[in-house]
Amino acid sequence: MAGGLLGIESLERTEIESILDRAKSFQPQQSASRKSDLLRGRMIVNLFFEASTRTRTSFEIAAKRLGADAISITASGSSVTKGESLVDTLNTLGAMRPDAIVMRHAASGAPHFLARYLPTPIINAGDGTHEHPTQALLDARTILDRRSTLEGLKVAIIGDIAHSRVARSNLFLLSKFGSRIVLCGPASLVPPELAQLAAGVTIAHRIEEAIREADVIMMLRVQLERQHEAAFSANEYFQFYGLRLEHMSLASPDAIVMHPGPINRGREISSEVADSQRSVILNQVENGISVRMAVLERILSN
């Protein structure tokens, strides 16, 4: 990871374990101090070409808690709006000598493309429908806060699988640890070829089948902005694929409910479930900071 973090697929299991273990030590309940100077004097640029609240903010907080300086640039506030190419934008930033660039872009493969041009380490904060590696890492950390292992867990990932970089990164990570993954959603939103990406992946089109005896239920946002035409109305989608309180009796007694956010209540999940004791959605947000601290430290510390 010396050259950055572009995806989960290329990481070894031992690298993932190292990040997750280090992230645990950065959790508020484990750390006596909220701030350190591990990355004092380092500068991190957050370059976001897509809207983001959780990821961008948590990278900013993570950098500052490690003593680094963090600068955030959005597409609307950059020279991209004046016609500057992506390569020229990154070359300009590279000339300013940041120690790392955290990048989110709508095009799949954009961080990989730029990593070939710049010597600066690039951290992928989400590229198109490809990957979102730090989200998968924080999801794994959140699961491990409640389970001793990822081995043998049944994980149901439900929703807009086709457009979800979160689903792909979680699929790659969880399969490396022996989890059994069920992808569930409307046939138009669950490409059958995704089952071939990793071992232990199956597909279901009924939510009841997917969550039966599941240990982890991971709901996904319906990404209307990536769809040419919505196949379902909000009410129709919620009727067939929205997680409701009555579904929880089908899952394992201690099953947890996750969502990467932002949540569309009444479309993907009911408020009764999102706000229940089974929900670890806010824990995911909290773990976003500790995981991103671990990633930044691993990439930038001497």
Active site residues: 54-55, 82, 104, 132
Q: Alpha helices, DSSP H only, in the chain?
A: 13-26, 54-65, 86-95, 110-115, 133-144, 165-176, 207-211, 234-241, 271-274, 281-300
**Cβ proximity of 139 and 20 under 8 Å:** no
Q: Is the peptide bond before 191 cis (omega within 30 degrees of 0)?
A: no
Contacts of 153 (CB under 8 A, 6+ apart): 143, 147, 174, 179, 180, 215, 216
197, two tokens:
């990406």
**Cβ proximity of 105 and 128 under 8 Å:** yes
Alpha carbons 226 and 159: distance in angstroms, whole number: 14
What residue type is assigned to position 69 of the chain? D
Angle, CA of 188, 189 and 190, to the nearest 5°: 100
CA atoms lying within 13 Å on the CB side of residue 16: 26
186, two tokens:
């409307």
**Cβ proximity of 184 and 158 under 8 Å:** yes
Sign for the pseudo-dihedral over CA of 104, 187, 217, 202 = negative
Alpha carbons 295 and 302: distance in angstroms, whole number: 13
